[in-house]
Each structure stands twice: as structure tokens, then as C-alpha cells.
Amino acid sequence: MLLWVLRHDHQETIVVTLKSKAELEIMYRANQLVARILSDLRAMARPGLRTIELDQFAEAEVVREGARPAFKGYRGYPSTLCISVNEEIVHGIPGKRVLQDGDLVSMDLGVVLDGFIGDAAITVPVGAISDKASKQLRVTEEALFFGIEKARVGGRLYDISSAIQWHAEKNGYSVVRVFVGHGVGRQLHEEPQVPNFGRRGRGMPLKAGMVLAIEPMVNEGTHEVRILSDNWTAVTLDGKLSVHCEHSVAITEEGPWILSELSATEASVSQDMQQQTARGLHVGNIHA
Ligand code: MF3
Ligand code: CO
């Protein structure tokens, strides 16, 4: 997600690129690739795996499909995935960290396919997680869907934000303020910024052809964050649990179109991939 940029000048013009039907179809393909790889990663996440192994798998798949990683090289970010475990909120760099039973792992993937970005994130349990963690995961996923439900022509931008904030806070959680969702298209970060907090009925009018990456970050305790010395990993200031999930959503006359929701076709590709991986046939370097 984008670092929230405060705008002091409210007269400033914000340029939002609207996508044509043909462009949305390309973005759909990019996001379906993201969704399929995230589905594979969900199946792979288990105790004992190093986070770098997930990153290597994701990168090999992105390249094999003729796409390229969107985050790698972005402002110097070194990896294909962002992997953020437990108190890590977002932008965790894959590495030697070994997944443990009970961990809650956010995996965020961006790709570029035929000039357009696909961007989505899931949080998955590793082994058996606590009831407390599983409730926070459920509420965050629900908050995302309540937000998506507001991504409609005739609505306003902060209808999305307030639906997310309301659901998270009603359940006793806080929403992160310094990182926000974003418009997405040819660029990873386009206008408008999509905060996970705000007032219903405010913000710009929503138009058909907008594509928004909606990505709640929901904390167990304080909403405040701290950045680790790697200059990327954002963690909760109080060390408590954080959950993050993201969909890229197109606003259409027919309602919200979740570009990154796994289709039946891609789900079966994912199943094949998982069977191949289980039989050791897959040629990626995950077993290296
Ligand atoms: N999904 C995140 C975003 O939308 C991930 C960005 S990681 C970065 O911004 F390295 F590309 F910044
Ligand atoms: Co994003």
C-alpha cells in the first residue's frame, strides 16, 4: 500500500484514470494470475518453511506466465512478495524467517501483465492458530468485503473507508492510518488514495472505470506503526497482532467487480499446480 500523503491544499486537482472495458479485461487477467499464485501460496504455508521459499515460488510462477513482479525494484524494494508475519503489518521482506505453528502470515503480490498491474494480498494461518487470531482474521476479511460492497457508481470514496473502519472498530480493533489503499492501473499507485478510515458520504464521487486496490490493515491494539531497520517492514508499535488483506476492484455500472477474486478456472489451475508440487514435479526452486 501507499504511504498516506497528507494534502494540505484542498484545491488541488486529483487526476484519476478511468479504464476502458478492454483495459479492465487485461487487469482481470493480471489479477487472476495474482489470485492463482496466492492460492498456491496459501496451500504451501506450513511450519518449517522459510519465507524466502514462498518468494522464490511466486517469482518463478510470475515469470513462467510471461508477467513480471511489480514490487521488485519499486523504490528499491528487493522481492516479489511482501510477507508480513504476526505483528508485522505490511512490507515484510521474505528471508530466512521460518514459519511457526500458530503464525498468521500476510502475503502481498503485485504483477505486471501486458502493461497493467494486478495487486492483491491474503493473510493465512500456519498450522493451528488461536481463536483470538482467527477472529481477527475473519473480521478483517469481512471488513474488506463491506468496503468492496460500497465500491459503486453513485457512492463516494469514503463510503468504502468508513464501512471498513466501522466493522473493524465495532469488533474492538483499530485500523492503520499511515498506509492506505490506492487506485491501480498501469501504475501500482494511482489516485485516489483509499484510506481504511473516513466519513461516509465524503470523498470523491465513484465513477465506472475506476479500479481501486482496497486493503484494510487491522490491528489488535494500537493503530500506530514502527518501521524496522531494514527500512521496509512495518510492525505494530505495541507488538500486537495485525492482519492485512487486499483486493483490486473495478467499479462498473453493474456493481463492484473483484478482479482478484479467484475464478473457477484459475482455482483448477491452482489445484493442478498444488498436485504437481506435492509430487515434486514442479520445476521451480522451492525445494532448493
Ligand atoms: N500491495 C502493496 C501496495 O499496494 C505492496 C507494495 S510493496 C512495494 O503498495 F514494495 F512495492 F512498495
Ligand atoms: Co496494494
pLDDT of residue 278: 79
Residue 108's domain spans which residues? 24-280
CA distance 147 to 162: 8
Q: How many CA atoms lie within 13 A of 262 on its CB side?
A: 17
Instruction: Report pLDDT digits (tens) over 206-242.
Output: 999 999 999 999 999 999 999 999 999 999 999 999 9
Q: What is the mean pLDDT of residues 270-274?
A: 90
pLDDT of residue 110: 99
Q: Is residue 18 part of a domain?
A: no
pLDDT of residue 6: 66
Q: Is residue 62 part of a domain?
A: yes
pTM exceeds cut of 0.75 = yes
Q: Is residue 11 part of a domain?
A: no
CA distance 71 to 188: 8
Amino acid identity at 261: E
Which residue's CA is the closest to the ligand 1 atom numbered 9?
1
Q: For residue 92, which ligand has an atom nearest its CA?
A: 1
CA of residue 177 to ligand 2 center, whole Å? 15
pLDDT of residue 288: 37
Q: Is residue 72 part of a domain?
A: yes
Judged by DSSP in three states, 217 sits in strand
CA of residue 172 to ligand 2 center, whole Å? 25
Judged by DSSP in three states, 54 sits in helix
pLDDT surpasses 90 at 282: no
Q: Is residue 6 part of a domain?
A: no
Instruction: Report pLDDT digits (tens) over 135-166.
Output: 999 999 999 999 999 999 999 999 999 999 99
Q: 211, 217, 239: which is closest to 91 by C-alpha?
A: 217
Of ligand 1's listed atoms, the one at least distance from the Cα of 71 is 11
Residues with CB under 6 A from ligand 1: 1-2, 71, 74-75, 77, 82, 91, 108, 110, 119, 121, 182, 188, 213, 246
What does the buried/exposed string (b/e) look like for 269-285 if buried means 16 or more CB atoms within 10 Å of the residue's CB? bbeebbeebeeeebebe
Contact present, 30 and 111 (Cβ < 8 Å): yes
Retrieve residue 132's grid coordinates: 483470538
pLDDT surpasses 90 at 69: yes
pLDDT of residue 1: 65
CA of residue 96 to ligand 1 center, whole Å? 21
Which residue's CA is the closest to the ligand 1 atom numbered 2?
1
pLDDT of residue 11: 66
Per-residue pLDDT band for 281 (boundaries 50, 70, 90) equals low
Of ligand 1's listed atoms, the one at least distance from the Cα of 108 is 1
Amino acid identity at 47: P
pLDDT of residue 287: 44
Query: What does the H/E/C string look like for 74-137?
Result: HHHCCCCEEEEECCEEECCCCCCCECCCCCEEEEEEEEEECCEEEEEEEEEECCCCCHHHHHHH
- The sign of the dihedral angle between the CA atoms of 166, 170, 171, 172 is positive
Report the number of distinct structural domains present in the chain: 1
> How confident is the prediction for the chain on average, in pLDDT?
95
Per-residue pLDDT band for 2 (boundaries 50, 70, 90) equals confident
Q: Is residue 179 part of a domain?
A: yes
DSSP result, 4-39? PPP---TT-----PPPPHHHHHHHHHHHHHHHHHHH
Which residue's CA is the closest to the ligand 1 atom numbered 1?
1
Retrieve residue 161's grid coordinates: 473507508
**CATH number of the domain within which 29 lies:** 3.90.230.10
Q: Is residue 197 part of a domain?
A: yes
CA of residue 280 to ligand 1 center, whole Å? 31
Of ligand 1's listed atoms, the one at least distance from the Cα of 213 is 4
pLDDT of residue 213: 98
pLDDT surpasses 70 at 277: yes
pLDDT of residue 8: 61
Of ligand 1's listed atoms, the one at least distance from the Cα of 184 is 4
CA of residue 1 to ligand 2 center, whole Å? 4
Q: Is residue 7 part of a domain?
A: no
pLDDT of residue 283: 47
Q: What is the mean pLDDT of residues 7-21?
A: 83
Q: Region of 24 please: left (phi>0), alpha (psi -120 to 50) or beta.
A: alpha
DSSP result, 221-264? S-S-EEE-TTS--EEETT---EEE-BEEEEEETTEEEETTSPPH
